[in-house]
Amino acid sequence: MPKILIDTSIIIDFLRQKDKSKTLLYFFGQHQYQIYISIITHAESYAGRSVWERKEAMEILEKLLSNFKILPLEEAISKKAGQINAIYHNMEIVDAIIAQTAISHKLELATLNIKDFEKIKGIKLFKL
């Protein structure tokens, strides 16, 4: 079974698209990928106001997230993410943590924000 780490952009795209079959998340489901997310992606998924204002939105999100394996932020990942952030000055620390989570767990990273990650040495980005 193939494995993939997805970032928040993949989840948001899936939730917003009317035609789910056009999303990468749908593709991963159809191709039996084991889907992983960083604890950072988990937290970011709950950052939308609608999740807290609409019970249905919360239920949909929680059902979706229950299908993913959540990877914790470990001390070694945290340290290496800090190094990534120091090297790539204009990168958000949350993106550095997600990138290092992918690298540390030897997972390809699926994102709709390729430009935010492509410069990082050692990362493998998913491309269709």
Q: What CATH code is carried by the domain that includes residue 44?
A: 3.40.50.1010
User: Considering the domain boundaries, does residue 127 fall inside one?
Assistant: no
How many folded domains does the chain comprise? 1
User: Considering the domain boundaries, does residue 26 fall inside one?
Assistant: yes
The reply to whether the predicted model has a pTM over 0.85 is yes
What residue numbers bound the domain in which 56 lies?
Answer: 3-117
User: Considering the domain boundaries, does residue 126 fall inside one?
Assistant: no
How confident is the model at residue 55, as a pLDDT?
93
Q: Is residue 89 very low, low, confident or very high in pLDDT (cuts 50, 70, 90)?
A: confident
User: Considering the domain boundaries, does residue 61 fall inside one?
Assistant: yes
Asked whether residue 22 carries a pLDDT value surpassing 90, the answer given is: yes
How confident is the model at residue 128, as a pLDDT?
79
Three-state SS annotation for the chain:
CCEEEECHHHHHHHHHCCCHHHCHHHHHHHCCCEEEEEHHHHHHHCCCHHHHHCHHHHHHHHHHHCCCEEECCCHHHHHHHHHHHHHCCCCCHHHHHHHHHHHHCCCEEECCCHHHHCCCCCCCECCC
User: Considering the domain boundaries, does residue 36 fall inside one?
Assistant: yes
Percent of the chain beyond pLDDT 70? 100
User: Considering the domain boundaries, does residue 106 fall inside one?
Assistant: yes
How confident is the model at residue 88, as a pLDDT?
87
User: Considering the domain boundaries, does residue 54 fall inside one?
Assistant: yes
